[in-house]
């Protein structure tokens, strides 16, 4: 099986935390070798929920945005034809190894692409899913717009992400962690409204997932 590799340029981030594409690449270059060990466990429930949601949908062609090391890839039904993209070449290298090791013949391609400006055609996919990506990309609304563009009308957009608390002790922790966003490679204080405009907030279905509702699965019809 041949896994294709495409490259695109990423747009700079313009947010107060100064988390730009180079910062993301740098962070995930550091995390790549230990990502599965450090983050695989805590993120597993969210990934499982997202993939289960994909598998329950009727569409066949799936775009996984921010595929990372490919932790979710073995869990898609064989009938799903999956294309994965990521900004980090280091993470993609590990995803390719996983695909070959586990003979995942339904994974059609793993490509190094900017999630905010992909090379895909309009309406190329039935489903697009972004797991733990919305708080990483430079412009979340551009991510949303690009996922909407490449998914067919009537298709589905899915997001699993950490969204900032609105009150309580978790809010204080997230605010304290926010200055470390560049080193972490993501925004601890990321708000739902940064991704979804008001008209989509009312259309979306949001389901908290373990551990302790730290992550949320968002289902948005296209």
pLDDT for position 40: 57
Q: What is the mean pLDDT of residues 15-37?
A: 54
User: Please, what is the angle between helix 21-31 and helix 89-101, to 10°?
Assistant: 50
Please tell me what DSSP assigns to residue 160. E
Name the architecture of domain 21-221.
3-Layer(aba) Sandwich (3.40)
For 42-104, give the DSSP string.
HHHHHHHHHHHHHHHSS--EEEEET-TT-TTGGGS-TTSEEEEEES-HHHHHHHHHHHHHTT-
What's the chain's length in residues?
222
Q: 207 pLDDT exceeds 80?
A: yes
Inter-residue contact 87 to 10 (CB < 8 Å) = yes
Range from 14-23, 90-99, 189-198 that averages highest in pLDDT: 90-99
User: Among 27-41, 98-112, 126-140, 175-189, which range has the highest average pLDDT?
Assistant: 98-112
Task: Please tell me what DSSP assigns to residue 11.
Answer: P
Q: Take residue 41 and report the two structure tokens written for it.
A: 């466990």
| pLDDT at 15 (0 to 100) | 37
- Residues β-bridged to residue 63: 83, 128
The pLDDT assigned to 24 comes to: 58
According to the model, what pLDDT value does residue 34 have? Answer: 60
pTM for this entry: 0.77
Q: Please give the residue that has the higher pLDDT: either 19 or 200.
A: 200
- How much is the pLDDT for 119? 97
Q: Mean pLDDT, to the nearest integer, of 90-95?
A: 92
What's the rounded mean pLDDT across residues 95-124? 97
For tokens 């708080």, what's the residue? 135
pLDDT at 171: 45
Residue 149 pLDDT exceeds 80: yes
Return the minimum-mean-pLDDT range out of 9-13, 51-55, 58-62. Answer: 9-13
Query: CA neighbours within 13 Å on the CB side: how many for 32?
Result: 21
Give me the residue spans of the domains in the chain: 21-221
What is the pLDDT of the chain when averaged over all its residues?
A: 80
Say which residues have a Cβ less than 8 Å from residue 179's Cβ, sequence separation at least 6: 17
């Amino acid at each position: 099986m041949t896994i294709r590799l495409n490259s695109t340029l990423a747009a700079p981030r313009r947010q107060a935390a100064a988390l730009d594409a180079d910062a993301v690449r740098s962070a995930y270059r550091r995390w790549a070798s230990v990502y599965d060990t450090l983050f695989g466990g805590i993120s597993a429930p969210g990934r499982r929920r997202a993939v289960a949601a994909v598998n329950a949908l009727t569409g066949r062609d799936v775009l996984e945005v921010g595929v990372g090391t490919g932790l979710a890839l073995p869990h898609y039904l064989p009938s799903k034809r999956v294309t994965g993209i990521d900004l980090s070449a280091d993470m993609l290298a590990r995803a390719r190894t996983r695909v070959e090791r586990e003979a995942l013949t339904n994974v059609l391609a793993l490509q190094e692409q900017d999630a905010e400006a992909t090379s895909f055609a309009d309406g190329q996919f039935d489903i697009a899913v972004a797991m733990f990506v919305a708080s990483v990309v430079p412009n979340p609304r551009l991510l949303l717009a690009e996922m909407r563009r490449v998914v067919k009308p009537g298709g589905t957009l899915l997001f699993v992400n950490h969204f900032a608390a609105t009150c309580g002790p978790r809010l204080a922790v997230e605010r304290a962690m926010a200055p470390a966003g560049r080193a972490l490679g993501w925004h601890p204080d990321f708000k739902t409204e940064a991704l979804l405009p008001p008209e989509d907030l009312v259309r979306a279905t949001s389901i908290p997932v373990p551990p302790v509702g730290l992550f949320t699965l968002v289902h948005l019809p296209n």
